[in-house]
Structure 1
């Protein structure tokens, strides 16, 4: 573990409702840190937006919590809200298809699986809630990547280091996903598995998550694949409507 990061984040715990402001000297004393160390940690937190410094005089500055924490809090609240709303629809879809259903969002430049409904089959996918994945691998992550801004896409594509994944091919695939409205992947995260994903929109017409159905490739063929796609598409629409999305 990075002890400097841990020490810096622990300083945020001192900012409470009763004591919302601290000076450098006060923090150094409270945290039992040398003043230069406390200054370095506070400056790093300020640079990242977790704290903001209010200069009251030439020799006195006070620190308060920054707006970055509010932004992160909203993200957490949004994820909780999406999970709460999406869960019953995911369970209904799982009963109809008897395949694994995932809810995927973007966080920190990666895809994160924030909820899951298991199938009742003997052979199941072992995806865990909280799993992180590159945005260029799997139907859910790629669908989310396809709906990011071009500069954000370019940043992600530059991080591809896999010897068998070509960024230009992924870029072309993202364009196709955006045009057709869904993503399909085969064997990208697990061998002999297929995934189908559709976007979930919020009231601002922004893609906030992907609903992904995954299972053995042998079950994702022909008419059954068409059925899976249609059921997943309808479920994505239902969740979007519940989030306030309205088609113009």
Structure 2
């Protein structure tokens, strides 16, 4: 555990009090730190965008919270809203098809599973909330990659390396480019045995009011059950559920996908 990082971040707590701007002396006193140490931590927070330095005069220098915290707070708020809105629909979908339903979002250069509703089937998938995945593995991660703005997608593709988990895992960029093109053409993503040879996953995009794809709604299960049900019911019902979640998030249907 990095104690320096913890000490620096704890300084932000002092700005949660009534006084919104603090001097170096005030922060040093509140934190019981020598001024040089406090100054060093404050400078790191300033460079990172967590604090803004206001220099009124040479003698009057103050700090206040920076916009980076607002940016992060908005992201957390959006994720909480997304999970709150999506969960009842996910439960309904799971009850209808009796397969595992996941909600997947992008976090940097990885996909993260932020919600899951488990089926009542005896044979289940070993997935969990918080699981991370490379963007070329699985229907949800691939869908999120496919719907990124082109410049962001190309940046991620440039630094991507491929690890073979099964014989069906995508093994190079050429295959992945074709997969991305297919996903954008179809409007959904399918994974067959890419993480586990015995599983199939299908994902549809969840969009917000700006028409941005912010999540993938994913249904997955053993191929012995999914193979028959995907074309018959699961694809249609997953698409309908993703659309309902999107509408609750303010999305108005157009032909953007």
TM-score for both structures, normalised by structure 1: 0.92
Residue in 2 aligned with 1:177?
183
Residue in structure 2 matched with residue 243 of structure 1 by the alignment: 249
Matches within 5 A, 1:1-248: 1-164=1-164, 165-222=171-228, 224-226=229-231, 227-248=233-254
1:103 CA drift (Å): 0.8
Q: What count of residue pairs does the alignment treat as equivalent?
A: 247
| Per-residue deviation, residues 108-141 of structure 1 (Å, max 9, x unmatched) | 3322212111000112122222222222221111
Report if aligned partners of 1:99, 1:119 keep a CA contact under 8 Å in 2. Answer: yes
1:199 Cα deviation after fit: 0.2
TM-score by length of 2: 0.89
Task: Work out the CA distance in 1 between the residues paired with 2:163 and 2:128.
Answer: 26
Please give the root-mean-square deviation of Cα atoms over the aligned residues, in Å. Answer: 1.8
Asked if the contact 1:135–1:156 (Cα under 8 Å) also holds between the matched residues in 2, the reply is no
C-alpha offsets along residues 42-96 of structure 1, whole Å, 9 cap, x if unaligned? Answer: 2221122111111111233211111111111111111111112111211111011
Cα deviation for residue 163 of structure 1 reads: 4.1
Q: Measure the CA separation in 2 of the matches of 1:3 and 1:49.
A: 20
SS in 2 for 1:220: helix
